[in-house]
Amino acid sequence: MQLEVLQKKENPLLKRVEVTFKAIHKAEPTPTRDALRAFLAKELNATKDIVVIDFQASTFGRYETLGEAKVYKSKEQALAVERKHILVRNKLIEPEVKEKKEAAPKPEKPSPAPKAEKPAAAPKPEAPKPEAKAEGKAEKAPAKEEKKPAPKEEKKPAEKKEEKKDEKKPEKKPEAKKREGT
């Protein structure tokens, strides 16, 4: 693998050197972040623990990887300035493990036991439930009977419709006469 430094820029405020690089890797897979850090450290006369790679990208069909890296004066400066996820990617710090997930499974263990008890108790209540439903249906049936007088009310609107039809008929006849007259 060959490594070319395309651009090198000093940043005295953050105490680092910013580097744009190009790695040519013919007949080899894309180099890992650790391999690139080691090559950059050799190229820039630095140690591997002060080199931080921001990003690296390979183009499909080419044996080239382009990227940007930062070389700090000390590891403490790198830890103070860089973002945590970048430091984790470069393996300068360990990723944080959430301990809350371990506490969550403990409440889950008691919950399966009540589930096993529910099916055993379920057949006894099921028998009264159909009877209760049958009683409920019997109560609903009189309610339907009460709705039967409603059709009598429907007859009244039907009578109104007949009246409207009678009213409409004379209106249509004059129109028909007008047509005949014209």
Please check whether residue 168 lies inside any domain of the structure: yes
C-alpha separations of 33 from 4, 14, 68 in Å: 16, 23, 11
57 in any annotated domain: yes
Q: Which of 31, 64, 89 marks a domain boundary? A: 89
Residue ranges of alpha helices (H) inside 32-127 are 33-43, 75-81, 84-89, 100-103, 105-108, 112-121, 123-126
- Quick one: 78 and 153 in the same domain? no
Strand partners of residue 132: none
Q: Are residues 84 and 27 in the same domain?
A: yes
- Look over the chain and give the mean of its residue pLDDT values, rounded to a whole number: 75
pLDDT value of residue 146: 53
Q: How confident is the model at residue 90 (pLDDT cuts 50, 70, 90)?
A: very high
For residue 94, the 8-state DSSP code is P
Domain of 150?
128-181
pLDDT band at 92 (very low <50, low <70, confident <90, very high): very high
Average pLDDT over residues 96-114: 59
Q: Which of 59, 89, 119 is the last residue of a domain?
A: 89
| Among the listed residues 40, 45, 46, 41, the one whose alpha carbon sits nearest the alpha carbon of residue 22 | 40
Do 19 and 75 fall within a single domain?
Answer: yes
Say if 121 falls within a structural domain. no
Beta-carbon contacts of 74 under 8 Å, excluding residues fewer than 6 positions away, are: 15, 50
User: How confident is the model over 111-131, as pLDDT tens digits?
Assistant: 555 555 555 555 555 555 555
Q: Is the pTM of this model over 0.75?
A: no
Q: With 90 as the cut, is the pLDDT of residue 96 above it?
A: no
Torsion of CA 50, 51, 53, 54, to 10 degrees: 50
- C-alpha span between 142 and 134 (Å, rounded): 13
Please compute the mean of the pLDDT values over residues 77-106 and round it to a whole number: 82
If asked whether residues 73 and 135 sit together in one domain, one would say no
* Strands lying side by side in the sheet with 16-24: 2-11, 16-24, 64-72, 51-58
Model confidence band, residue 59 (pLDDT cutoffs 50, 70, 90): confident
Q: Are residues 20 and 75 in the same domain?
A: yes
Q: How many domains is the chain built from?
A: 2
Quick check: is 68 in a domain?
A: yes
Query: Looking at beta carbons, which pairs linking 25-29 to residues 24 or more positions away fall under 8 Å?
Result: 25/1, 25/63, 25/64, 25/65, 26/63, 27/63, 28/1, 28/63
Is pLDDT of 39 > 60?
yes
Residues 15, 75, single domain; the answer is: yes
The pLDDT assigned to 21 comes to 96
User: Is residue 174's pLDDT more than 70?
Assistant: no
Residue 71: per-residue pLDDT: 96
Report the share of the chain in percent with pLDDT over 70. Answer: 54
What is the pLDDT averaged over residues 74-96?
93
More confident site: 16 or 104: 16
Same domain as 84, residue 31? yes
- Is residue 111 situated within a structural domain? no
Does residue 96 belong to any structural domain of this protein? no
Residues 82 and 136 in one domain: no
- pLDDT for the residue numbered 122: 52
Query: For residue range 139-162, what is the model confidence (pLDDT) as tens digits?
Result: 555 555 555 555 555 555 555 555
Boundary-marking domain end, from 89, 119, 146 = 89
The answer to the question of residue 116 being in a domain is no
Residue 118 resides in a domain: no
